[in-house]
Amino acid sequence: MATAGLLLAAGAGRRLGMPKALLPYRGRLLVEHAADVLTTAGCRPVVVVLGAEADRVQARARLPEVVVNGDWATGMGSSLRAGLSALTDDTAEAAVVTLVDMPGLTPAAVRRVAADATADGLAQATYRDGRRGHPVLLGRLHWPAVAHAATGDRGARDYLRARGDTVRLVPCADVADDTDIDLPEQAVGLDA
C-alpha cells in the first residue's frame, strides 16, 4: 500500500506579505520544492492544497494534483480537511502531511516519518529539544476523526496530542531543518 503526500500551501502569508507558495526558492517556487520533497520521498499520490491566489500559483508552478480550498481564510484546519477528502484513492493507507513554508524539509525526513506506515498509524517528526513538528503521518483510519478535529489554524495538533503514546515520535533534526518562513527577513536569500 502507498503513502500519500499532502502539502498544505493555501495561506495568504499575512506576516510575510504574500502567499508562501509564491516565494522564489532556488530558481523556482517554494511550493514546487515542497511538492518535490514529497515525491522524491516516494509519496503517491501527492496532493497540494492551494487557496490564496490559487490561480496565480497554478499558472506559475508545475505541481502534481492540486485541490483548491475555497475556505482557506478560515485557517489550516480547512486545508487539512480539503486535502484528506481529496485522497479518495484506496491504495493510500496513510498520508504524510507537511507545510509549504519549511524549505529545510528533506525527503529523508519524510521517509523516516513514513516508515512502517499503517492504516492505523500516527507519527510525528521531532527536532531540537524534542520539539514536535512536520512532517506528520496520519493513517487512513484516523482521517475522519482528524478532519472533524481540524478547526481554525489547528490541523492535526490537538488530535495527535490527545493520542499521547500511540504517536510514534521520529527524530529528524539530523536530516532536516524545521525552520519555517513567516517574516520577510526570513525569506531573504531563499532564491540564492
Dump pLDDT digits (tens) for 82-136.
Answer: 999 999 767 799 999 999 999 999 999 999 999 989 999 999 999 998 999 999 9
State the fold for domain 2-176: Spore Coat Polysaccharide Biosynthesis Protein SpsA; Chain A (3.90.550)
For 9-75, where are the alpha helices, taking DSSP H only?
A: 30-40, 54-60
Q: Which residue has the higher pLDDT, 5 or 182?
A: 5
pTM comes to: 0.94
For the record, the C-alpha cell of 131 comes out as 520539539
The residue extents of the domains of the chain are 2-176
Percentage, residues of the chain above pLDDT 90:
74
CA distance 128 to 113: 16
- Residue 185 confidence class, pLDDT cut points 50, 70, 90: low
Provide φ and ψ at 158, rounded to 5°: -65, -40
Average pLDDT, the chain: 91
- What's at 192, amino acid-wise? A
Which residues, including other chains, have CB under 8 Å from residue 85's CB and lie 6 or more apart?
Answer: 147
CA distance 134 to 18: 22
Q: 3-state DSSP call for residue 70?
A: coil
